[in-house]
Structure 1
Amino acid sequence: MYAVSNYPGRRRATQEAARREVFAVVGSLAREMHPQRSVPAEISLSSRLEQDLGVDSLARAELNMRLEKAFHAHLPIEELGRADTVGDLLTALEKAPGAEPPPVVEPAAGEALPHIRAAFEARTLTEALDWHAAHNPERLHLTFLRDAATPAGAFTYWRLADEARRAAEGLVARDVAPGDRIALMLPTGLDFFVAFFGALYAGAIPVPIYPPMRMAQIEEHLTRQIGILRNAGVKLLITAAEGIRLAGLARRRVETLEEIVAVADLVSGADGAPLPPTREAGATAMLQYTSGSTGDPKGVVLSHANLLANVRAMGLAIGATSADTFVSWLPLYHDMGLIGAWLGCLHFGAPLYVMSPLTFLSRPASWLEAIDRHRGTLSAAPNFAFELCLDKIDPAQIEGLDLSSLRMVANGAEPISPRTIRRFAEKFAKYGFRAEAMAPVYGLAENSVGLAFPPPGRAPLIDRISRDLLATDGRAEPAGDATAALEFVSCGAPLPGHEIRVVDGAGRELAERREGRLEFRGPSATAGYFRNEEKSKALIRDGWLDSGDRAYTAGGEVYVTGRVKDIVIRAGRHLYPQEIEEAVATLPGIRKGCVAAFGAPDVETGTERLIVVAETYETAPEALGALETKVQAAVAAVCGAPAEEVRFLPPRSTPKTSSGKIRRSAAKALFEEGRLGEPRGPVWLQIGRLALLGLWPAMRGAAKSVGELAYASWWWIVVCAGYFAAWWAVMTLPCRSRWPAVRKIAGTMLGAIGAKVTTEGLERLPKGGAVLAFNHSSYVDVMLLAARLPGEPAFVAKKELAGQIFAGPFLRRLGALFVERFDIAASVADAEKLAAAAREGRNLVFFPEGTFTRRAGLCGFYLGAFKIAAEAELPVFPGVLRGTRGMLRGEQWFPRRSALSLAILPPIRAGGSDFLCALRLRDHVRAAILARCGEPDLSELSKPRRGDA
Structure 2
Amino acid sequence: MENPTKPPYSDPKQAAHSLLGLVTELAIEINPDSFDSSSVYLDSTLDQDLGLDSLARAELIQRTEQQFTITLPTQTLAEIETPRDLLNAIFNAEQHPTAIKASADKIELPSASIYPDHVETLQELLHWHVEQHGDRPHLYVYQDAVNVESISYQTLYQQAKLIASHLQDLGIGPGDTVAIMLPTCNAYFYCFFGILFSRAIPVPIYPPARPSQIEDHLVRHSKILQNAETKLLITVEQAKGLSTLLKLHVPALEHIVTTEEIDSLSAESSSSEHHPTGQAQPDEIAFLQYTSGSTGVPKGVKLTHANLLANVRAMGKAVGATSDDVFVSWLPVYHDMGLIGAWFGSLYHAIPLVIMSPLNFLTQPKRWLWALHHHRGTLTAAPNFAYELCVSKIADDDLDGLDLSSVRHCWNGAEPISPTTIDAFSRRYQKYGFAPEAMNPVYGLAESSVGLTFPLNTRKPRVEWVERQTMMNTGKAVSIETGPIEYGQTNNINELLEHSIPLIGLGHPLPGHQIRIVDSQGRELPEHQEGELEFKGPSSTSGYYRSPDKTAGLYHDEWLRTGDRGLTMEGELFLTGRIKDIIIKAGRNIYPQELESAVSQLAGVRKGCIAVFASANPKTGTEQLVVLAETKLEDAHKKQRLRDEIQNLSFNLLGIPTDVVELCPPHTVPKTSSGKIRRSACKTLFEENKLNAPQRAVWWQATRLFLSSAKPAFIRFKRLAADWGFACYMWLIMALLTPPVWLLVTLLPAKSACWSVARWGARSLIKLTGTKLTIEGIEHLPNDDSPYLVIANHASYLDGLVLLAATGKEHQFVAKAELKGNFFARAFLNKLGTHFVDRFDTQKSLSDSRQLAAFADSPWPLTIFPEGTLYRMAGLHEFHLGAFQIAVEKQLPILPITLKGTRSILRDKSLFPRKGDIEVIISPPIHPEGSDWQATLALRNTARKIMLENSNEPDLARESTR
Cα deviation per residue 1:639-658 (whole Å; 9 max; x = unaligned)?
A: xxxxxxx9887545436997
Partner of 1:150: 147
Partner of 1:181: 177
Distance verdict in 2 for CA 1:292–1:252, change over 3 Å: closer
- Using the alignment, how far apart are the partners of 1:613 and 1:247 within structure 2? 39
| Structure 1 residue 128 corresponds to structure 2 residue 113 | no
Per the TM alignment, residue 118 of structure 1 is displaced from its structure 2 partner at its CA by 2.5
Partner AA of 2:541 in structure 1 = T
- Using the alignment, how far apart are the partners of 1:498 and 1:315 within structure 2? 14
Secondary structure in 2 aligned to 1:432? coil
Per the TM alignment, residue 224 of structure 1 is displaced from its structure 2 partner at its CA by 2.0
Partner of 2:234: 238
Answer whether contact 2:436 2:460 (CA < 8 A) is retained. Answer: yes
- Using the alignment, how far apart are the partners of 2:457 and 2:613 within structure 1? 27
Answer whether contact 1:329 1:354 (CA < 8 A) is retained. Answer: yes
Answer whether contact 1:210 1:333 (CA < 8 A) is retained. Answer: yes
Aligned residue pairs total 513
Partner of 2:217: 221
| Structure 1 residue 190 corresponds to structure 2 residue 186 | yes
> Which of 241, 249, 253 does residue 253 from structure 1 map onto?
249
Answer whether contact 1:169 1:275 (CA < 8 A) is retained. Answer: no
- Using the alignment, how far apart are the partners of 2:638 and 2:424 within structure 1? 30
| Structure 1 residue 581 corresponds to structure 2 residue 616 | yes
- Using the alignment, how far apart are the partners of 1:472 and 1:622 within structure 2? 43
- Using the alignment, how far apart are the partners of 2:478 and 2:287 within structure 1? 41
Per the TM alignment, residue 455 of structure 1 is displaced from its structure 2 partner at its CA by 2.3
Answer whether contact 2:214 2:239 (CA < 8 A) is retained. Answer: no
Per the TM alignment, residue 294 of structure 1 is displaced from its structure 2 partner at its CA by 2.4
| Structure 1 residue 546 corresponds to structure 2 residue 542 | no
| Structure 1 residue 420 corresponds to structure 2 residue 417 | no
- Using the alignment, how far apart are the partners of 1:656 and 1:422 within structure 2? 34
Partner of 2:473: 472
Which has the bigger relative contact order, CA under 8 A and spacing at least 6? 1
Secondary structure in 1 aligned to 2:581? coil
Distance verdict in 2 for CA 1:533–1:673, change over 3 Å: same
Cα deviation per residue 1:320-372 (whole Å; 9 max; x = unaligned)?
A: 01110000000010000000000111111000010000111111111001010
- Using the alignment, how far apart are the partners of 1:246 and 1:383 within structure 2? 36
Partner AA of 1:558 in structure 2 = L
Answer whether contact 1:656 1:662 (CA < 8 A) is retained. Answer: no
> Which of 583, 596, 605 does residue 626 from structure 2 map onto?
596
Partner of 2:450: 449
Partner of 2:411: 410
Partner of 1:430: 431
Cα deviation per residue 1:241-272 (whole Å; 9 max; x = unaligned)?
A: 34322455322210000001122332342435
Secondary structure in 1 aligned to 2:469? helix
Partner of 2:510: 495
Cα deviation per residue 1:540-570 (whole Å; 9 max; x = unaligned)?
A: 12110000100110111000112111399xx
> Which of 551, 566, 576 does residue 561 from structure 1 map onto?
576
The 5 Å alignment of 1:765-804 reads none
Per the TM alignment, residue 147 of structure 1 is displaced from its structure 2 partner at its CA by 4.7
- Using the alignment, how far apart are the partners of 1:158 and 1:117 within structure 2? 18
Answer whether contact 2:613 2:625 (CA < 8 A) is retained. Answer: no
Partner AA of 1:127 in structure 2 = E
Answer whether contact 2:302 2:543 (CA < 8 A) is retained. Answer: yes
Partner AA of 1:338 in structure 2 = L
Answer whether contact 1:334 1:659 (CA < 8 A) is retained. Answer: no
Answer whether contact 2:416 2:623 (CA < 8 A) is retained. Answer: no
Partner AA of 1:339 in structure 2 = I
| Structure 1 residue 118 corresponds to structure 2 residue 153 | no
Answer whether contact 1:167 1:263 (CA < 8 A) is retained. Answer: no
Answer whether contact 1:118 1:322 (CA < 8 A) is retained. Answer: no
Answer whether contact 1:239 1:260 (CA < 8 A) is retained. Answer: yes
- Using the alignment, how far apart are the partners of 1:648 and 1:289 within structure 2? 30
Per the TM alignment, residue 196 of structure 1 is displaced from its structure 2 partner at its CA by 0.5
Secondary structure in 1 aligned to 2:240? helix
Answer whether contact 2:293 2:299 (CA < 8 A) is retained. Answer: no
Answer whether contact 1:291 1:657 (CA < 8 A) is retained. Answer: no
| Structure 1 residue 524 corresponds to structure 2 residue 539 | yes
Partner of 1:33: none
Distance verdict in 2 for CA 1:563–1:663, change over 3 Å: farther
Cα deviation per residue 1:694-719 (whole Å; 9 max; x = unaligned)?
A: xxxxxxxxxxxxxxxxxxxxxxxxxx
Partner of 1:263: 259
Partner of 2:802: none
- Using the alignment, how far apart are the partners of 2:213 and 2:261 within structure 1? 28
- Using the alignment, how far apart are the partners of 1:442 and 1:577 within structure 2? 24
Per the TM alignment, residue 117 of structure 1 is displaced from its structure 2 partner at its CA by 3.2
- Using the alignment, how far apart are the partners of 2:455 and 2:647 within structure 1? 37
Answer whether contact 1:415 1:578 (CA < 8 A) is retained. Answer: no
Distance verdict in 2 for CA 1:578–1:394, change over 3 Å: farther
Per the TM alignment, residue 477 of structure 1 is displaced from its structure 2 partner at its CA by 1.4
Per the TM alignment, residue 426 of structure 1 is displaced from its structure 2 partner at its CA by 0.7
Secondary structure in 1 aligned to 2:452? strand
| Structure 1 residue 172 corresponds to structure 2 residue 207 | no
- Using the alignment, how far apart are the partners of 2:170 and 2:340 within structure 1? 28
Distance verdict in 2 for CA 1:465–1:584, change over 3 Å: same
Answer whether contact 1:436 1:460 (CA < 8 A) is retained. Answer: yes
Task: Give % identity.
Answer: 45
Answer whether contact 1:407 1:457 (CA < 8 A) is retained. Answer: no
Cα deviation per residue 1:650-685 (whole Å; 9 max; x = unaligned)?
A: 545436997969799xx99999999x9xxxxxxxxx
Partner AA of 2:625 in structure 1 = V
Secondary structure in 2 aligned to 1:520? strand
- Using the alignment, how far apart are the partners of 1:437 and 1:328 within structure 2? 16
Distance verdict in 2 for CA 1:363–1:144, change over 3 Å: same
> Which of 492, 504, 507 does residue 522 from structure 2 map onto?
507
Partner AA of 1:562 in structure 2 = G
- Using the alignment, how far apart are the partners of 1:389 and 1:114 within structure 2? 32
Answer whether contact 2:120 2:281 (CA < 8 A) is retained. Answer: yes
- Structure 1 residues not aligned, in runs of 5+: 1-112, 569-575, 587-591, 598-610, 626-645, 677-949
- Using the alignment, how far apart are the partners of 1:261 and 1:185 within structure 2? 10
The 5 Å alignment of 1:337-486 reads 337-479=338-480, 482=496, 483-486=498-501
Answer whether contact 2:517 2:533 (CA < 8 A) is retained. Answer: yes
Answer whether contact 1:595 1:613 (CA < 8 A) is retained. Answer: no
Per the TM alignment, residue 155 of structure 1 is displaced from its structure 2 partner at its CA by 1.1
Answer whether contact 1:414 1:661 (CA < 8 A) is retained. Answer: no
Secondary structure in 1 aligned to 2:615? helix
Partner AA of 2:245 in structure 1 = L
- Using the alignment, how far apart are the partners of 1:658 and 1:397 within structure 2? 32
- Using the alignment, how far apart are the partners of 2:366 and 2:206 within structure 1? 24
- Structure 2 residues not aligned, in runs of 5+: 1-109, 483-495, 584-610, 664-668, 680-962
Partner of 2:321: 320
Answer whether contact 1:460 1:489 (CA < 8 A) is retained. Answer: yes
Distance verdict in 2 for CA 1:409–1:480, change over 3 Å: closer
The 5 Å alignment of 1:691-702 reads none
Per the TM alignment, residue 579 of structure 1 is displaced from its structure 2 partner at its CA by 7.8
Partner AA of 1:458 in structure 2 = R
Partner AA of 2:458 in structure 1 = G
Answer whether contact 1:491 1:557 (CA < 8 A) is retained. Answer: yes
> Which of 528, 538, 551 does residue 536 from structure 1 map onto?
551
Answer whether contact 2:112 2:350 (CA < 8 A) is retained. Answer: no
The 5 Å alignment of 1:91-102 reads none
